[in-house]
Each structure stands twice: as structure tokens, then as C-alpha cells.
Amino acid sequence: MARLIKGIESKLIHGGEPEPLIGGAVTMPIFQSSTFESAGATNYHDLRYIRLSNTPNHQVLHRKLAALENAEAALVAGSGMAAISAAMIAIVAPRGHLLAQNCLYGGTYDLITQDFPELGIEADFIDADDPASWREMLHENTRAIYVEAMSNPLLQVSDLKAAVAFARQHGLVSIIDNTFASPINFRPAEIGFDLSLHSATKYLNGHTDIVAGAAIGRRDLVERITHKLNHLGGALDPHACFLLSRGIKTLAVRVRYQNESALKIARFLEAHPKVAQVNYPGLENHPNHIRACELFDGFGGVLSFELTDGVEAAENFIANASIPISAPSLGGIETLITRPTNTSHSGMSAQERAVAGIADGLVRLSVGLETTEDLIEDFEGALGSC
């Protein structure tokens, strides 16, 4: 009898799992085999080989991720950047042009500004909150528009519906990095995005023990990206597939807790006299709060803030907060704290960061699963030293 799987919580646990269970194993076994006995495939991409992302461990993840975002197909990759670079090269190369949001994860920004010119891919950055300005940025060879669900590290929520409509009107592929929202808070295919990309290193895995990526969306695009990734070689190892599958099963309980905890912490920080600015779309005074309420089921576990006394105060806060670990990355079960200027956005010049609105004293906090009241008490103490 086929399992009844409707809600996202049920999909996390049972979606895409083999039926019948392999050897009766309740947890999908790891197929740690680089190659598989030929089954008559004549096409290179259909040979069964880890680099071709088609072992049983990959296939379970592909089915599960597609189900989670109500999309047609999915692909996992060896890192978020492997998914992003393979997707963009598959869609925009050769000789194409990309319109990209002007405040992006630093690695994506570096890929676009440093590597793409060498590959003959052109790009222009758009104010993703000003759709009226996009048309004049179009080139004859523009192939895609690229945005992030919530920008890193300022948590801006751009006009995502306008990006989809603009792409449809001009025959572009609409691409979104959905890492910060996760499928619990936002499923891009539901508002018409062609492709959603993830650093699965973050919320999807959630346990800070692997790097992984995902591309989820239209079947024809996922197939093109798969073929590109097969040549570029950025496949996910079956053991990492297993860890990712295991992490994904608890995504809903983790992310909903993180949504609640981050909102309480954002409210605490906002009310504190030593805090100059808090960026969190769940706050009523965030410039994109109403849009975020319309689009998302929750506002995520990441927030950023600036202290009234700038960089020195930020460094003191990081040094004196006892719970958060000072490390880049986000979306895991432990609270992480970082200054993007030194980590995720250090590849940008000071001037580029200034244009993007990333102050040197900006602190980014990825809220984990610790007791919210412990975190608030810890931050209260750390602010006393700032």
C-alpha cells in the first residue's frame, strides 16, 4: 500500500524513500560503491557512477528535495558553490549575460565578478527592489535573473514575484538561492521560479558536518545542470548523501524553532540601547516586513546587527558572548557568530561592501537550537562589555 504523504513534515521523513524498503532497512543504507554493474545504458550520463550523481543515495535525495519544494526535479552537488556554478554555467554560458541581485553571498559575487569574465559570461547587478530599473539592464543575450530569498548578510527580501514575472516576460530563466529560507519557510516553485539553489551545508543538513548543494526546479533545467556537473565533477559522495538525508528529516522542527528563537533575539537586540540597527525580516520595522509576511511561512534563523560603537564594540561582543561559536557558515544546530567583513564577504573590496551596505561593524548571527533565554541572557552580558 502506498504511503499517504501530503504535508511537508511527512515528505521530510518518507518523501522519495525506496518502496519497498531495501532489505527492510528503515533507514536508507549507504551504497558506498563508485560504479555499478552495467544495465544496458548507452548514454554516458546514464552509466551508474558516483560522479554522475545517480547512485541510490543520490536518487532518494533528488526525489525528496523535489517533493519538499513542490518542484519537478532536483539534483544534489558537492557544495552549494558546486550547485550554483554548475547551474549558472549550464544556463548562461556560452556568451550569455546574467542579471544578478546587487547584494549576494560573497562566494557567488566573486564567481560572477572574478570567474565569469574569464569564461566569457557577462553580468550586471540590479537593485532587486526596483523592478522598474531592470528593463534597461537587459541585453540581447540576457539569459537569467538571479536573486536570493533573503540576502546575505543584510536579510533584504527583494521583489521575488516581480523577478518571476520579469523573467517570464523576457524569456529569462528565474533563479533563486533559497538557502536562508529553506523549504520550510519558502518553496520558490510555488510562485513560479524556474530554479531554486541551496547551500545544503546550511539548514537542509543542519548539523555542520558536511558541505553539500542542491538545485531544485524545472526538469529540463535540472537535467542540463546534471550533465554540466557530470563534466565539472562536483558530485556529492554517498556517505555525505546519507548524512544530508539524515539531517533533512528534522528540518521542520529545527527551522521552526530557529524562526521563533531568532525573532525573540531580534526583538531583544532591537530594544537594547547599545544596538544601532537590527536586520531581520520578522521585525515590523524591517523595510521588507510586509513582503516577507506575504511570501514566507517564517523568517529564518539568521539576523545581523550593528552596535552603536562600531567595529570595536562588535569585536568585544563576539569575544564576550559565551554561547555562540565565532565561525563562518550558518543554519546549523549551534549558534554561530561572525563579522561578514572578515569572512563571507571578505572577497569584496571595502568600496564594494560599502555600496552593498555591509558595514565593517556588522555582526551576523545564525541562531541555533540552544535555549533562547540562555542566548538572550548571554547577549545581555556581552553587550555590557561593548
By annotation, the residues acting in catalysis are 51, 105, 177, 202
3-state secondary structure at position 217:
strand
Nearest distance from residue 298's CB to ligand PLP, in Å?
Answer: 17
Taking the CA atoms of the chain, what radius of gyration do you get in angstroms?
21
Q: Which residue has the cell 515590523?
A: 284
Closest to ligand PLP by CB, 215 or 383? 215
Q: Of 307-366, which residues contact ligand PLP (CB under 6 A)?
A: 329, 344
Give the C-alpha separation, 201 to 214, whole Å. 10
Q: Are 305 and 278 within 8 A, CB to CB?
A: yes
Which among 50-58, 79-87, 160-168, 356-364 is the span making contact with ligand PLP, rule CB under 6 A? 79-87
By CB under 6 A, name the one of 57, 152, 174, 288 that touches ligand PLP: 152
Task: Give the bridge partners for 148, in sequence order.
Answer: 177
Which is nearer to ligand PLP, 88 or 265 (by Cβ)? 88
DSSP state of 20: S
Residue 42: CB minimum distance to ligand PLP, A: 34
Distance CA 17, CA 61 (A): 8
Residue span 94-113 as binding mask against ligand PLP, x where in contact by CB under 6 A, dash where not: -----------x-x------
Nearest distance from residue 78's CB to ligand PLP, in Å?
Answer: 8
State the residue for C-alpha cell 520558490: 188
Distance between CA atoms of residues 218 and 353, nearest Å:
34
215 SS3 class:
strand
Write down the least CB distance from residue 95 to ligand PLP, Å: 25
Strand pairing of 195-199 and 302-307? Answer: unpaired
| Grid coordinates belonging to 182 | 529553506
For the CB of residue 61, give the shortest distance to ligand PLP in the complex, in Å.
15
Residue 237 has φ and ψ, to the nearest 5°, of -70, 150
Retrieve residue 193's grid coordinates.
Answer: 521560479
Q: Is 9 exposed, middle or buried (0-12, 13-18, 19+ CB in 10 A)?
A: middle
Residues 137, 99: contact at Cβ < 8 Å? yes
**How many residues bind to ligand PLP according to rule CB under 6 A?**
16
- Binding ligand PLP (rule: CB under 6 A), the pick from 15, 16, 56, 80 is 80
Closer by beta carbon to ligand PLP, 214 or else 263: 214
| One residue of 53, 55, 79, 182 binding ligand PLP per CB under 6 A | 79
Beta carbons of 350 and 229 less than 8 angstroms apart: no
For residue 82, the tally of other CB atoms under 10 A from its CB is: 23
Residues in contact with 117: Cβ distance below 8 Å, sequence separation at least 6, in sequence order: none
Q: With contacts defined by CB under 6 A, name the span among 77-85, 164-172, 292-300, 366-374 that binds ligand PLP.
A: 77-85
Coil, strand or helix: which one is 165? helix
The residue of the chain with the least Cβ separation from ligand PLP equals: 80
Mark residues 191-230: x for contact with ligand PLP by CB under 6 A, - for none: --------x-x---------x-x-----------------
Contact status: 300 vs ligand PLP (CB under 6 A)? no
Binding residues for ligand PLP restricted to 157-186, rule: CB under 6 A: 177, 179-180
Please report how close the Cβ of residue 178 comes to ligand PLP at its closest, in angstroms.
Answer: 9
User: What order do you get walking across the sheet with 325-326 strand by strand?
Assistant: 275-279, 302-307, 363-366, 336-338, 325-326
Return the number of the residue (295 or 383) whose C-beta is nearest ligand PLP: 295
Supply the minimum distance, in Å, between the C-beta of residue 23 and ligand PLP. Answer: 32
Between 316 and 329, CB nearer to ligand PLP: 329
Smallest separation (angstroms) from ligand PLP to the CB of 376: 25
d(CA 164, CA 145): 9
Interface contacts to ligand PLP, rule CB under 6 A: 79-81, 105, 107, 148, 152, 177, 179-180, 199, 201, 211, 213, 329, 344
